Amino acid sequence: MRETSIGRKILIVLLAFAVVAAGLAVYMSTRPKEGEPPAGVESVPEGTRSVTLYFASRQADGLLSETREVAVGDEIESQVRAVLTALFEGPAGDGMVSAIPKWTEVLQVFWVEDTQILYVDFNGMIVSNHPGGSAGEYYTIATIVKTIASNFPQVRRVQFLVEGYPVETLAGHYDVQKPLDIMNWK
Helix, strand, coil proportions of the chain in percent (round to 5)?
35, 25, 40
Q: E-strand spans in 91-155?
A: 96-97, 106-112, 117-122
Element (H, E) at 56: strand 48-57
Q: Write down the pLDDT at residue 43.
A: 43
Residues 174 and 97 in one domain: yes
For residues 104-117, b (16+ Cβ closer than 10 Å) or e, as one string?
Answer: bebeebebeeeeeb
Contact 115, 154 (CB under 8 A): no
Domain assignment of residue 7, given as a range: 1-43
Residues 83 and 105 in one domain: yes
Within a domain: residue 97? Answer: yes
Residues 31 and 64 in one domain: no
Residues 69 and 117 in one domain: yes
Q: Write down the pLDDT at residue 108.
A: 97
Per-residue pLDDT of the chain (186 residues; tens, 9 = 90+): 555 677 777 777 666 666 666 666 666 666 655 555 555 444 444 578 999 999 999 988 899 999 999 998 889 999 999 999 999 999 998 899 999 999 999 999 999 999 999 999 999 999 999 998 899 999 999 999 999 999 999 999 999 999 999 999 999 999 999 999 998 877
Within a domain: residue 186? Answer: no
Q: What CA–CA distance (Å, rounded) separates 55 from 59?
A: 11
Q: Write down the pLDDT at residue 44.
A: 44
First to last CA, the chain: 98
Residues 131 and 70 in one domain: yes
Residues 30 and 60 in one domain: no
